[in-house]
Structure 1
Amino acid sequence: MTLRNPLRIARAATAFAATIAVTTACTSAASAPQVKPGGRSFTVAAAGDVLIHPELVDQAAKDAKKTGEGEAGLDFGPLLAGIKPVISKADLAICHMETPVGNPRGPFEGYPEFLVPPQILTTLKGVGYDTCSTASNHTYDHGLGAVRRTLNAMDKAGLGHTGSARTPEEAEKINIRDVNGVKVAHLSFSWMSFLNPTPEKEKWAFNQIDTDAIKDAEARAREKGAEVVILSVHWGLEHYNEPSIPQLELAERLTTETGVDLVIGHHAHVVQPIQKVNGTWVAYSLGNQVARHSSPTGLTEEGAIGWFEFRETTDGWDVAARYATTLVDIPPEVEAGEKPPAGAVEDHRLVDVRRALETPGDLSEERLARYRLAADRTRGFLYNRGAPGGDGLKELTLERD
């Protein structure tokens, strides 16, 4: 999709946001939720796209030589270790597995038709993820066989999944988990890839964005006893920090025509706002959880973990939103035989930015400045649609151990 007039779109988005903000403020003032005495509660952590580019496979090979861990010469543990203190503390942790996986020993591929090591799934489980969305524009990069291989590997790793299916019968199933005594359903939908569209005879294998289909999935989830429904949606425009008009329009429909309790957005590869729309939290894009694009922009390395606290009320659920900033440290590229600059990052690592700033140790001032920039920019993008006001979005102050 091409933006022919970004200024016009920006103005339209601003006007739309103003309308929604006024409506939400009036609604909130009229009916503040009352927490149910002795009611149930649980927390949800959700993060951005998991994109294992070739440079990250190389890093896993390098780390495996040091640790002696992993499988088939690949260890992704050190890469993701920095987020474990946050992810592991959530009652339900949701990741977005954007790509299909190959065999443990390869071959592997990067953009535009990803095929990544299944070892990443074991690592995701190890840092605390419980279930993942799998519907994306890359789901069908290598066809139905790769979809089946990916879901088999997720089963083996102990990760739940939703968004794609191995059979028509599995496509009808709803991913429902018991979280602190609450039945929570997780749904996943995406726009379809133009490069590798799903064949008509296999449309059941992939959840394509369609409001009626989302309504139907939510209804089936409720029929099966779901008390809370979380929707992951792969949408929007890549590398734009503001949601597109179609995103805003779909968010409006989802929050007025369905009973979905939380919307988690993906695909942009950069952070977009978190906002209450008609009383429902919508995270338009949480950026990348982990990635190493061929041309890093700085913004593509910055991400957010959304943290949502559900508390039972007399007529439903009160949901508070928090966030934690993340950053993928990338080593500088140097010519063969040259040494990197003093104090430079040596390895790709996913960093919990708040923790790094609170316990800097011997980090150089240059790296600390980079972390502060990530924190400031992420805060600005997340708050760009008014969330720190009446919506109440705050930075996560969870104690990390």
Structure 2
Amino acid sequence: AALGSLAALGGSRGVASAAADDDELEAFREQVRAFAASEVAPHAAAIDEGNSFPKEVNLWAKLGEFGLHGLTVPEEKGGLGLGYAYHCVAMEEISRASASVALSYGAHSNLCINQLARHATAAQAETYLPKLISGEHVGALAMSEPGSGSDVVSMRCQAREDSDGNFVLNGNKMWCTNGTVADTLVVYAKTDMAAHQRGITAFIIEKGMKGFATAQKLDKLGMRGSDTCELVFEDCVVPRENVLGEVNKGVYVLMSGLDLERLVLSAGPLGIMQATLDVVMPYVHERKQFGKSIGQFQLIQGKIADIYTKLASARALTYSTARRIDNLSGKIDRHLAKDCASCILLAAENATQVALDGIQILGGNGYINEYPTGRLLRDAKLYEIGAGTSEIRRLIIGRDLFAEYE
């Protein structure tokens, strides 16, 4: 039923690039909020404690049944064509329920599905998108390596063309979200080692390909249950038809995808900040000290005000940027990298501070695991590191601003 109503919403808007109508977007938010509260939130604590998604329920399929995997995929390719503002809403509301589920959802729906929707051939889209959009298959993206994090174009994973025109991959990828469970992965490798960023090609890798394996699942501080691992390629033969985009043009797929990744993932910290408010506001009413609710004390009110303004300002920047991208209808905007980096820089750093404030407001209770505040802090910190560190984001913003005023 939910998928039907979301599909109707997509059809009523006509084109994927149309700006999100406020009333429609708010109606969508209420739908996703109710879904996340009933289907995701009850598992959040156990996911964190056990470092795995629940075995008794397939969250990927449930997200697919609700229609959330293909929000930015055009309708002719099997998606809903609703655009990035809708994708940010989904990311925020799922993060509010469980940041780790949302991170895996973001890697699947944006880093993998959206890249395929934007760059795949008709045959590739027909092969991979239906099962990814339904949630039957899980998607991932592999870019970073053990020796190439922020300096991603220095990657050493190599794809050598063989006599049959196929490619043989050798090397390792690191920090791959969903890597242990992914069926379809977008993987970047060097097809011309001497050409630096002009020698990168994107490939579609399938689970079970000979020569492809996943290494250990990493034991992370936060975002537990959202599996992260190393990928290993040893003479992995990849058919030429699995090239995504053009040979040696993968950097364009990579960099344009990074901008949209930063936009959508910036809604993750928004959800964490809202989740902090969800914990804090009832607590400051219920907790009594010196004969009254602690929310009546001005120092507590000051912290609440700081939480609210940090959330509201980051939310405004993220959604104004998302709407602008939806209005671009695929056109190039030279400010996009700067603005998307700004969204996630502001949201991520705000979320870490908001989570710290949440712990402080709860005092001793904030420091024990009976309350979710510790998990919120551990989850929030990821967003200052993943999808480009805060330092890299500042470099992007500063560099682009400097160039604008030349």
TM-score range, shorter-chain basis?
A: under 0.3
Q: Per residue, is there more strand in 1 or in 2?
A: 1
The TM-score with structure 1 as length reference comes to 0.27
Whichever structure has more helix as a proportion of its residues is 2
